[in-house]
Amino acid sequence: MGLVVILLAGVPWYLPEGTIGPLVFGFPLWMLVAVLFSVVLCGFLTWVLMRHWHLTDDDHPAEDGAHQDPRTNGELE
């Protein structure tokens, strides 16, 4: 849902066609809206990937950093 809101708000389709003004620091408002929401989108996607995308396999127990040799039935070397 957040992704849809950011994408819809980031494309200034809601401004009248051909709008150049108002200018903010010499840039058209629509350009600043697009750039701002691009940065917001990057932050949102970074948060989603860091927080909710787990690449570990849940079927296997987590390794504790020790190497297990399959030839010794899992015993440590």
Which tens digits make up the pLDDT trace of 22-72?
898 999 888 999 999 999 999 999 999 999 887 766 655 555 555 555 566
Domain-embedded: residue 3: yes
Domain-embedded: residue 77: no
Domain-embedded: residue 8: yes
Note whether 12 and 20 are within 8 A (CB): no
To 5 degrees, how large is the angle CA 19–CA 7–CA 28? Answer: 25
For residue 10, pLDDT over 80 is answered with yes
Domain-embedded: residue 28: yes
Range of the domain at 32: 1-15+22-51
Domain-embedded: residue 73: no
Domain-embedded: residue 57: no
Domain-embedded: residue 66: no
The pair phi, psi for residue 27, each rounded to 5°, is -110, 145
Domain-embedded: residue 45: yes
The model carries a pTM of 0.62
- How many domains does the structure of the chain reveal? 1
